[in-house]
Amino acid sequence: MNEEVKELVARPSLCNPFAELEMQNIMLRDQKAELDEQLLGAMQQMFKNAEAKTSELQNLLKNEVTRIRATLTNNENTYSVQLVKDIVKLQNKLKEFTQLDNEQIALIEQRVTGLLQNYQCLTGSPTKSIVSGVLQRYIIEKVLTWANAYFKLCIEDLNKKTHNELAQCNKDELDKFLEGNILRITANLYRSIKEFSKRRNGEDELTHVMGAKIHQQVYAVLGSCGFASVDHLFVVKAVKTLLNELDKYRQFKDQSKKKDTEELASSIILETVCIFHFKFQAQVPVVEYHFFESRDKFDPMTMECIQEDDEDGEKQFVEICSFPLIGANIFTLDKGKRQIFSRAKVQLRLDSSID
């Protein structure tokens, strides 16, 4: 009790009828001041706790971003190793599928000549190895063209359907749209997350890496399981079309040999689509490919000559690029940023003169 209160208490209340009220007022002011001090302390502690919680959340977010980035890096390394193995496997199958050394296989020369001309190859006396290389490239380009058209058509059809119409589709109808629908949803989600990170300001980096993680994981799954069923509508149609196309350029005298060779068609189509359409997208940065053209100068850094006699390869020019250069940032002028997974498979022009 302060001196003012003591003084009021000591005074006779009869001399000052307001003394008691004044004393109560002073006491209430003292209580208010004490409560204000307690409130200030509580608020300061609350802010301190909030700052600690914010710091804890920021550390958790930072750790999560670090973990996700490490996962992306580990996945990238794992995917890269597997991608190289898959590329080699596909190259070997294409080589076996198009081999022409067997006497039981005859070329339809007029049509082969036309195909060689399409790739600006010399048509005088092409070796069977050159023709085989041309067929390998032809197969890859055809399969990728069909796959692009298939996915485009699927997405267009899906965009036209309402939610109720999709719900009424049976299992077989949905099956043909499955991969295309996953691509459509992933693309939309990736764009939305990217736009979200731009429009919604925040101090965390989680949204900046989440889109890439989702994109990578989805394409990795598609690369492993996409079109896994051999009776998938796309695969069945593509196999039939591919075999009909190749029959225009070669004929099998031995039907058993033809059957053995044709059994490779479905796996070649599946692996080509899974590698070029899906597994390339599972890499960070996304993997690219490039076919070199006839008459391009041989470059040992980006090309591998598959001919036995290639001692003067650096002085020669490409006749046919049967399998493309595959890597990340392959078009950049800064060679230090390039990451090559597979050099292009090329055969060189036997006549080194370029007319």
Same domain for 161 and 229:
yes
Q: Are 269 and 302 part of one and the same domain?
A: no
Q: What is the pLDDT of residues 145-189, one digit of tens each?
A: 999 999 999 888 888 887 787 777 777 777 778 888 898 888 888
**What's the pLDDT score for residue 9?**
53
| Any domain includes 63 | no
> Quick one: 225 and 315 in the same domain?
no
Asked whether residue 70 is assigned to any structural domain, the reply reads: no
The larger pLDDT score, comparing residue 213 to residue 236, is at 236
Indicate whether 15 and 153 sit together in one domain.
Answer: no
pLDDT for the residue 291? 98
Q: Which of 283, 304, 331 is the last residue of a domain?
A: 283
Determine the pLDDT at residue 239: 93
Q: How confident is the model at residue 117 (pLDDT cuts 50, 70, 90)?
A: very high
Per residue in 296-312, is it b (16+ CB within 10 Å) or e — as a string?
bebeeebbebbbeebee
Give yes or no: residues 208 and 249 share one domain: yes
186 versus 212: the higher-pLDDT residue is 186
Query: Is residue 230 scored above 70 in pLDDT?
Result: no
Residue 131 maps to a domain: yes
- Mean pLDDT for the chain overall: 82
| Range from 37-41, 109-113, 265-269 carrying the lowest mean pLDDT | 37-41
Q: Specify which residues 320 forms β-bridges with.
A: 347
Same domain flag for 10 and 147: no
Give 220 or 213, the one with higher predicted confidence: 220
One domain for residues 29 and 160: no
Q: Residue 53 domain-assigned?
A: no
Domain for residue 178, yes or no?
Answer: yes
* Burial (CB count within 10 angstroms: exposed 0-12, middle 13-18, buried 19+), residue 126: buried
In a domain, 49, yes or no: no
Q: Which of 227, 253, 283 is the last residue of a domain?
A: 283
Identify whether residues 203 and 351 lie together within a single domain.
no
pLDDT at 240 over 90: yes
Residues 6+ apart with CB under 8 A from 344: 290, 291, 292, 302, 303, 304, 321, 323, 324, 325
The answer to whether position 212 is within a domain reads: yes
Residues 208 and 102 in one domain: yes
Question: Using one digit for the tens of pLDDT, what is the confidence trace for 63-96?
Answer: 666 666 666 555 556 778 889 999 999 999 999 9
Inter-CA distances, 37 with 30, 31, 40, 44, 47, Å: 11, 10, 5, 11, 15
Percent pLDDT > 90 in the chain is 36
Q: Are residues 151 and 18 in the same domain?
A: no
Residues 6+ apart with CB under 8 A from 111: 248, 249
The answer to whether residues 113 and 233 belong to one domain is: yes
* Helical pair 128-160 and 233-246, crossing angle rounded to 10 deg: 150
Average pLDDT over residues 3-28: 63
**Which of 51-55, 97-101, 129-133, 254-258 bottoms out in mean pLDDT, i.e. has the lowest?**
51-55
Pair 172, 193: CB distance under 8 Å: no
Domain count, the chain: 3
Does residue 140 surpass a pLDDT of 90?
yes
287-330 pLDDT per residue, tens? 999 999 999 999 999 999 987 655 555 568 999 999 999 999 99
Given pLDDT bands bounded at 50, 70 and 90, which one contains residue 283?
confident
User: Among 262, 283, 304, which residue terminates a domain?
Assistant: 283
Query: Is residue 325 classed exposed, middle or buried when 0-12, 13-18 and 19+ CB atoms within 10 A define those classes?
Result: buried
Confidence tier at 10 by pLDDT (50, 70, 90): low
Q: What is the pLDDT of residue 203?
A: 56
Same domain assignment for residues 247 and 121: yes
- What is the residue range of 320's domain? 285-355
Whether 65 is covered by a domain: the verdict is no
Alpha helices in 98-205 (DSSP H): 109-118, 128-160, 163-167, 171-175, 178-199
